[in-house]
Amino acid sequence: KKSTPLASSIISKNDIASVNLSGSGNSGKIMKDDVLSALNKENIDEQGRMITKSKLSSLRRKIATRLVTVKNETAMLTTFNEADMSQIIDLRKTHQEKFIEAHGVKLGYMSLFVKAVVHAIETVPNVNAAIDGNDIILYDKPHIGVAISTEKGLVVPVIRNANDLSLADIEKAIIKHAEKARSGNVELNDLTGGTFSITNGGIFGSMMSTPILNPPQSGILGMHTIQERPVALNGQVVIRPMMYLALTYDHRIVDGREAVTFLVAINEFIENPNLNLID
């Protein structure tokens, strides 16, 4: 039977016998809609490709709206650095067993980076701020949002007064928030009031990215995967476990010098961890 070029393409790609099709065109010519009707599917585009359509979830719609708003209403910039993770890795190996015995939780990287952010905020307080109309709100306490991946998307529960917490307290708070997030029991209070956020794309293998601000916060730190790379140290090329760090900040509040100083403070903290952290 005769068919239109598009109908012929769909017939060929879907292995349909044209003799079984009824044509609705002139002289019984097979049209695209005739083929779709025979397939009983509406998931083929004009090129004959199989497609799947699904509605955006309400959460995805809210996230999409929020991301566009952030892009349009802030002056986002990202600065990068890299940290030698050797000292942190050794610290965890040395103290992990006793840490678990004492606190019942593992010492992870995230709590150490929360502490690094607290240290950096003490060095550059302007990062712990937000814009409210024509005013800048400077917070005296760091409430650190920690991004957690769930089946429904990313949520960012807040660890409040992180400067007053021990590593064990932070680890327990992260575990509690993660359990609530993944069971769908997150409350609005868990997600509000953050003054700075941390996201770890490294757990998915991300080597480098530019995290997007979590408004109205003026800064977010992006952690990435740890990779052994050759680096120059004291005139020699050595292999070190390195992590790229990314700080996205709102340039309306934080200038470039402050952003670089902030990220350098995090880097110095991670490369030279204070053993007094282990409580």
Catalytic center residues: 251, 255
Pairing outcome for strands 219-223 and 196-200: parallel
Element (DSSP H or E) covering residue 250 = strand 236-250
Cα angle 88, 262, 204 (rounded to 5 degrees) comes to: 50
Q: Are 28 and 1 in contact (CB under 8 A)?
A: yes
DSSP 8-state code for residue 151 = T
Cα–Cα distance, 44 to 34 (Å, whole number): 13
In 3D space, the residue among 132, 121, 199, 203 whose CA is nearest the CA of residue 162 turns out to be 121
CA R_g for the chain: 26
Q: Are 144 and 127 in contact (CB under 8 A)?
A: no
79 has which bridge partners? 247
Cα–Cα distance, 41 to 50 (Å, whole number): 9
- 161: amino acid identity, one letter: N
Cα–Cα distance, 88 to 111 (Å, whole number): 11
